[in-house]
Structure 1
């Protein structure tokens, strides 16, 4: 590592990393959402429109998609009239899967998760960045919140923690929203030498100086799409990579909920939701169901104590909508 960038072990000089803050002219004001994607064509029509509206720029880095992901990204941005805010890049190397495969890969290899992430974010030209996934959809509130943060974090070093909730899709009209886990990962970061990616045990991690201002967004602003007819864990070496790790409570929860739903079981904390006729389940959850849910949004498995007023209101609403 040098003050200006990184060279990879394989000698692919075209994919050496130059830190963007060291380039002539530096970084411009604004924020960029960076999506590292592989076969996310069916999610991007919901992911990109609110994200394009909420940020100054969106960068999609494709890593070997075979489902037309880059074309869908381009078409979606054009359909909402925001193609000028989208740029795309290609990373042609196979990237190690999280877990044991990642742990065995040298950090400066082009196949390393941390090197891949550093290369992706080295393409950013703004002072702030969002580490976004190709299946994360902002709700109506989430879009406004991310947009409002643009002026608040521009000149102050801040990291943003974004809660997201798994939305397991059975069909275009039916899904299961998991509010049984409290989780808020760090997704928003300034661009600079204090905020680069390094290797951790199961995955990459972004370095963060101390002290730094931390802003936690409320629950209900973002859902993560999961398809019951797909392989939601292909980016992990194998289930043992997270099933035995105390560091990955979220992934263990996802594995448990996913397999329970495949067996026809709805676990505590999971809400079965059916969209009205003619409305897609993703639109219904992100634009109607979550924004209308009583606040504060009750997240986390219910305790043995009596339900809170918000929990009671949500249970009553679900019973009414299901006709019970």
Structure 2
């Protein structure tokens, strides 16, 4: 069966009708007010207990789409939400197809294949029922300030054409009490988008990219609102075809920095701009950084 684009959505190249895409704004009743954070996860069980509670408090709904986890990520997500008393805000789905890794593998995959990054993202966001969405990763943790900021934005963004750029800072963990916070790179990617026909995913060189109309307003949030967890005992770059290609692509400034910091820390070298942090006894390093260290750091936060 050939892939077909039709007014109501997309049909995939392989003919998996259960995973054809119907745009949510064409569904009966349309979209409701509010915001939904969409997490595409694979083996994020270690991170989700830190990621989900502040996100569930800040958003109307959190959608976790599992893509082949073997570490019990869906169960951890459900347990975490229930423990936080916010199980009613969590919704889960499963995407059973292997998705191309970013880089050369993605480039070689047809964008209407179920294995394409852009098709995968479009399918995930087609499950959203609110007028606004957050493209969130399964290792991104809001600080206390970040939680308040997203919560305050939730009622403002649903009916306006605005994109929100959220800075995030790498937090590299080597134990439950010790880690390294990278404030050496200014990075504010677009994470918040309206849900509608002007904001769908298309295929770019290394990854998927969301289309946006020229007249859309872009709002940048301040630094210090979000960290991205990197476990130094894990392969944090498995979703890339060839991490060494970061060094040859001008589009990968952030990934080049992450790769360099990760490798340096593994070798015992702390790069410039990286802060070594030890949590107080009995406090997890992620909680310490997001709830104490970053919120108490002098403002404006010195980054880059």
Smaller-chain TM-score range? Answer: over 0.9
**Cα deviation, residue 239, structure 1:** 1.6
SS where residue 247 of structure 1 aligns? helix
Q: Deviations over 1:223-272 (max 9, x none)?
A: 00000000000000012332211001000000000000011000000000
Supply the distance in 1 between the matched residues of 2:222 and 2:159 (Cα, whole angstroms): 23
Q: Deviations over 1:176-196 (max 9, x none)?
A: 000000000000000000000
Supply the distance in 1 between the matched residues of 2:28 and 2:282 (Cα, whole angstroms): 51
Structure 1 segments of 4 or more deviating over 3 A? none
Supply the distance in 2 between the matched residues of 1:251 and 1:121 (Cα, whole angstroms): 24
- Choose the corresponding residue for 2:299, options 283, 288, 295: 295
**Cα deviation, residue 2, structure 1:** 1.7
**Alignment-derived partner of residue 285 in structure 2:** 281
Does residue 257 of the first structure (1) align with residue 261 of the second (2)? yes
Q: Deviations over 1:50-87 (max 9, x none)?
A: 00000000000000000000000000000000000000
Supply the distance in 1 between the matched residues of 2:90 and 2:193 (Cα, whole angstroms): 19
- Choose the corresponding residue for 2:104, options 81, 100, 106: 100
**Cα deviation, residue 152, structure 1:** 1.7
Of structures 1 and 2, the larger Rg is shown by: 1
For residues 195-206 of structure 1, what are the structure 2 equivalents within 5 Å? Answer: 195-206=199-210
Does residue 219 of the first structure (1) align with residue 223 of the second (2)? yes
RMSD: 0.5
SS where residue 251 of structure 2 aligns? coil
Supply the distance in 1 between the matched residues of 2:261 and 2:108 (Cα, whole angstroms): 29
**Alignment-derived partner of residue 22 in structure 2:** 18
Aligned length: 300
Supply the distance in 1 between the matched residues of 2:268 and 2:159 (Cα, whole angstroms): 49
Supply the distance in 1 between the matched residues of 2:174 and 2:196 (Cα, whole angstroms): 41
**Alignment-derived partner of residue 46 in structure 2:** 42
Q: Deviations over 1:119-149 (max 9, x none)?
A: 0000000000000000000000000000000
- Choose the corresponding residue for 1:52, options 27, 49, 56: 56
Supply the distance in 2 between the matched residues of 1:43 and 1:273 (Cα, whole angstroms): 18
- Choose the corresponding residue for 2:130, options 102, 126, 131: 126
Does residue 236 of the first structure (1) align with residue 251 of the second (2)? no
- Choose the corresponding residue for 1:32, options 30, 36, 41: 36
Q: Deviations over 1:17-64 (max 9, x none)?
A: 000001111000000000000000010000000000000000000000
Supply the distance in 2 between the matched residues of 1:103 and 1:210 (Cα, whole angstroms): 26
**Alignment-derived partner of residue 184 in structure 2:** 180
